[in-house]
Every structure is written in structure tokens, then in C-alpha cells.
């Protein structure tokens, strides 16, 4: 049953979390394209200076106006959660200055309230990013059930879109897309969005079938070793599956890089 609009509005915006990637469909969007309303509503406490930040970590220079050089760049720790805040009193700021190696007099210290900026992104932006994401051969996007609005940390300059594993069965399938908002290489938050995909007869066929011979490649720095192996499961290019090395019978994991060729993957 397709989720109703009110269910999506009430559930999905709360699904902001750092999520592990499920596939490799990546979309880059320009900062201008991603621009959205900045949410900075947060009343200031009497006698406390308020500072709004958009980065995941705080620098001492953001809290103390006279901090310079290495003292200003001193890492204070993580920023408050999106829409959250934290107050730094005079004593704590003085302690941070000492930790940063400041040797002067800190006579003008004042308590600081740090507020993490957020942005409200709408359904049109979210749907647009998902629609641009690449999908496996024979798979098309039928519907996106994005929330009307979602709140994410401010400061992101790109987004990526990743899908769950697509079933190898022809027809319509409901999956989850993960829209991740990032600043450079650092992920800030991810939004889970239900989507519907159509898988054609062609899309239901794997790029390589179980029992198919492949060449598995092991790389160690500049050294590359290849061996004959057999796929232990159906796989599409980009997927990791068990393979059996012919001359030893050992079962290892390998990522299919093209039909007939796989790259050894370390780990359990």
C-alpha cells in the first residue's frame, strides 16, 4: 500500500541521520542549485552573544573574536546538532584559550551561545536530485515519495543519491533512496525517501550469472595478480559477491567490475 501524504510528512522529516551507502549511484549538485531557505530562529539569552555556525566542528576563532592564527584554528569540538545550541561561559572560554596556547590577557571574554544553522529543503529539490541519479540497466524511476519539506544542516555544497539493492524481478518495486547532503567530502546528514522503480525483463537479467567463469584480480600497490574463478551468485557490475578460486577452491569476495572480471575485496 502506498504511504499516504500525511504519513510521509510526519515520518520522513524525522529520518535525518548519517546513513551508510547502499549503492554507488552518485549525483553532484551545484551550491546554487541546492540553495534553500536558511532556518536560524533561536532567541538569544540576555547578556550572551549568539553565534550561528554551519560547519560540523567548532573553531575557537568563532567563539573568541580576538583569537588569531593557530589559536583561532584550535578545534573546540563538534558543533551542536542541527537547530540545537550550546552556551560557552567565560570560564570555559578561558580554559579553551589556555589549551590553544594563548598567552595574552583575556579581559574582554563574554559568554557565547552557539547555534547550528539549518536549511529547509522542499520536495521539488529532493525529487530533482533523485531523478538525476543513475540506475542499473533496464531499471527506471516510476515515482518519488519525498516529504513536503525536510530540515537538514546548513553548509552543504553537494548531494549524493544512493538506492537500495534492486530486485532481479520484472515489475514495480518499492525501495528507499538515500539523499545525502555533504560539505566537500564530509557528510552532514542523509534523508530516507521511498521510491518506486520499474524493472524490465532486461533489467531482471544479471550482468553475470552464478557459475560463470571470471578473472579475479588482486592488487597490492603496484603488484597485480590474476586468477581464474567462478561466480557464486548472480551479479551486476558494481556488486560484491562470493567467488571460488579454481585452483585452490577458496571462496573469497570480489566486486564485479565488468562481465567476466572481478576485483578481490578484503575483509570478512
Mean pLDDT of 163-176: 90
We find that the CATH architecture of domain 5-37+120-199 is Roll (3.10)
pLDDT confidence of residue 221: 83
pLDDT confidence of residue 263: 93
pLDDT confidence of residue 130: 95
pLDDT digits (tens, 9 = 90+) for 24-41: 333 334 443 443 344 444
Percentage with pLDDT > 90 across the chain: 42
DSSP the chain: -PPPHHHHHHHGGG-EE-----S-------HHHH--EEE---PPPTT-EEEEE-SSEEEHHHH-TT--HHHHT-EEEEPPPTT-EEEE-HHHHHHHHHHTT--S--TT---EEEEE-EEEEEHHHHHHHHHTS---TTEEEEEE---SEEEEETT--EEEEEEPPPPSSSEEEEEEEEEEEEETTEEEEEEEEEEEEEE-TTTTS-SB-TT-EEEEEEEETTEEEEEEEEESS-B-TT-EEEEEETTT--EEEEEEEETTEEEEE---
> Has residue 120 got a pLDDT over 50?
yes
pLDDT confidence of residue 154: 86
pLDDT confidence of residue 4: 43
Topology, domain 213-265: SH3 type barrels. (2.30.30)
pLDDT band, residue 45 (cuts 50/70/90): low
Query: Residue ranges of the domains in the chain?
Result: 5-37+120-199, 41-116, 213-265
**Mean pLDDT lowest among 78-87, 168-177, 197-206, 248-257:** 78-87
Amino acid at each position: 500500500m502506498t504511504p499516504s501524504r500525511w504519513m510521509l510528512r510526519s515520518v520522513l522529516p524525522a529520518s535525518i541521520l548519517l546513513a551508510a551507502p547502499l549503492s554507488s549511484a552518485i549525483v553532484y549538485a551545484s551550491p546554487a542549485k541546492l540553495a534553500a531557505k536558511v532556518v536560524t530562529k533561536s532567541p538569544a539569552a540576555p547578556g550572551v552573544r549568539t553565534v550561528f555556525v554551519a560547519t560540523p566542528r567548532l573553531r575557537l576563532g568563532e567563539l573568541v573574536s580576538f583569537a588569531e592564527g593557530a589559536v583561532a584554528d584550535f578545534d573546540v569540538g563538534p558543533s551542536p546538532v542541527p537547530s540545537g545550541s550550546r552556551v560557552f561561559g567565560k570560564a570555559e572560554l578561558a580554559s579553551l584559550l589556555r589549551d590553544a596556547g594563548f598567552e595574552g590577557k583575556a579581559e574582554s571574554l563574554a559568554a557565547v551561545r552557539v547555534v547550528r544553522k539549518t536549511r529547509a529543503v522542499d520536495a521539488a529539490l529532493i525529487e530533482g536530485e533523485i531523478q538525476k541519479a543513475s540506475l542499473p540497466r533496464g531499471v527506471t524511476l516510476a515515482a518519488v515519495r519525498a516529504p513536503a519539506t525536510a530540515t537538514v544542516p546548513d553548509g552543504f555544497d553537494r548531494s549524493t543519491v544512493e538506492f537500495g539493492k534492486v530486485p532481479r524481478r520484472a515489475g514495480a518495486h518499492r525501495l528507499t533512496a538515500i539523499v545525502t547532503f555533504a560539505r566537500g567530502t564530509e557528510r552532514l546528514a542523509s534523508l530516507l525517501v521511498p521510491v518506486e522503480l520499474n524493472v524490465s525483463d532486461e533489467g531482471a537479467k544479471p550482468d553475470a550469472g552464478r557459475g560463470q567463469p571470471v578473472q579475479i584480480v588482486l592488487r597490492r600497490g603496484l603488484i597485480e595478480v590474476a586468477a581464474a574463478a567462478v561466480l557464486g551468485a548472480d551479479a551486476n557490475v558494481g556488486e560484491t559477491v562470493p567467488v571460488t578460486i579454481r585452483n585452490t577452491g577458496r571462496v573469497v569476495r570480489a566486486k564485479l567490475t565488468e562481465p567476466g572480471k572481478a576485483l578481490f575485496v578484503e575483509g570478512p
